[in-house]
Amino acid sequence: MPSRAYFLGELLESKFFFGMANMLDSDSESDFDVQDELVVTGVEPLMRRRTQEIGPERLSVARLQREAAARGHAGDDVSSATYQNYGFHLRWLPIVIAALMVPAVIQTVGGHLFTGEEAVLLLLLRFRSDDGFDKMTWTTGRNISALSEVEHVHNTFPHLVNHRSFSSWSPHFHQFAQAFTDYGLPIQNLIGFIDGKLWAVCRPGRYQNVLYSGHKRIHGIKTQGIIFPNGMQPYPFGPVNGSRHDSTVLSRSRIVQILHDLCRGGPFAWMPGGLGQDYCLFGDSAYPISAFLWRMYKGAMTPAQQFFNSTMSPARVTVEWGFGKIVNLWPFLDYRKKSKARPLTPPHTHALQVLLSPVGLYFPVANVLTNMHTCLARGNIVSYEFGLAPPELHEYMRGGPYSCEPHDIF
């Protein structure tokens, strides 16, 4: 961990010296020399640079295995430090590293060299923490400037973050619809739930009106999420300016057009002529209604419409469960936690800043990592709720074809 550049007592002394300097007469030559000495003495602690204590060993699976064995967790479990720090069980980490297909050596823009294994572990450790990089230097054996590498997922697996991550599931839409029907939902052709989420960020120095949400009264960026009954979350779209409405995000993602083409044929069709049957997503009342997107009724409603809303509302919450899993697994994305100012530092020093960080990469990468976690865990709260198991990890990483089987629950 980095040592503080100054202590609280030194800061109070500096304040005292500055106060004394202000009390002196700057027009007096004798007082001017004393005033100069007081200012130099007071500013000295503030001119120090924070030092970084770099750890003696860099990250590797072998190191984590050795440390887990020393703690008595050779097999690792959910309560051990490895899962808490990296979001995956120790036995899963080699599988995750292999699935991400990282090269043997990665060189960043800044010229830092990492092994592929170390780069993945750094990414997981970074996303798992809501602390600043200065807290990670001892653990990682790296300095602050070296701790950044998330672009690999976008470059190697574009099919996991663009519309293909949704359309590749179209051969299983009938199974999704059957799972929802068996659950008791009144929409016979429903395949998933859709919603937008506003991720709070610190107030930027510029373009505040672009990121400010008048509805939530915070600054933020918006993303759009979809969840299937097997717990998988395809097509993580965003971010979009926080001032935009959910319907704007929907339009920009073109998800309704994509679903139309999948069902009836078109540029996004997965098979010639489409599936020959219409399927739909379900969202809240903020969305426009269409044959491919249903929503909650609003305004004056008939008893039948009220019953429809009361039936669909509990099920629609599952999309929030999906967002919740992403945040719980990767607290780095919970920008409000990162915006807490530390003692003796300016506000938002450790906040994720929109104009200084590649926030457009973070949510899709975290979405992919969450789906990988769901595959390795063989399910999540959503898949168990609707009784449909997620695919195997290798099926997900290659973008299909997928297995789509009922959950084997005890």
Would you write out the chain's pLDDT as a tens digit for each of its 410 residues?
Answer: 445 555 667 778 888 888 888 887 666 667 777 787 888 887 777 766 555 667 778 899 999 988 888 877 765 555 567 888 999 999 999 999 999 999 898 887 777 788 889 989 988 998 898 776 767 887 888 876 666 555 677 678 889 999 999 999 999 999 999 999 999 999 999 999 999 988 877 777 777 888 888 888 888 889 999 999 999 999 999 888 888 888 999 999 999 999 999 999 999 998 888 999 999 999 988 899 999 999 999 888 999 999 999 999 999 888 889 999 998 999 888 755 553 333 333 333 344 455 556 777 888 999 999 999 999 999 999 999 999 999 999 999 999 889 888 876 54
> Which of 70, 125, 67 has its CA nearest to residue 96?
125
> Which of 154, 155, 136, 153 has its CA nearest to residue 145?
136
CA distance 231 to 16: 59
Are 386 and 179 in contact by the 8 Å Cβ rule? The answer is yes
pTM: 0.82
CA distance 364 to 337: 20
**Beta-carbon count within 10 A of 229 CB:** 28
Q: Specify which residues 237 forms β-bridges with.
A: 224
**Ramachandran area for residue 118 (φ above 0: left; ψ -120 to 50: alpha; else beta):** alpha
Tokens, residue 170: 């179209």
pLDDT at site 407: 76
**Beta-carbon count within 10 A of 245 CB:** 15
DSSP 158-222: GGGTSTHHHHTTGGGHHHHHHHHHHHT-S-TTEEEEEEEEEEE-PPPSS-HHHHEETTTTEEEEE
> Which of 226, 237, 230, 250 has its CA nearest to residue 323?
226
SS3 361: helix
Residue with tokens 């990767």: 330
For the chain, the first-to-last Cα distance in angstroms comes to: 45
**Beta-carbon count within 10 A of 346 CB:** 8
pLDDT at site 148: 56
pLDDT at site 344: 32
The one-character DSSP state at 45 is: G
Tokens, residue 215: 């509805």
DSSP 265-294: -STT-SSTT--SS--EEEE-TTSPPBTTEE
CA distance 95 to 240: 33
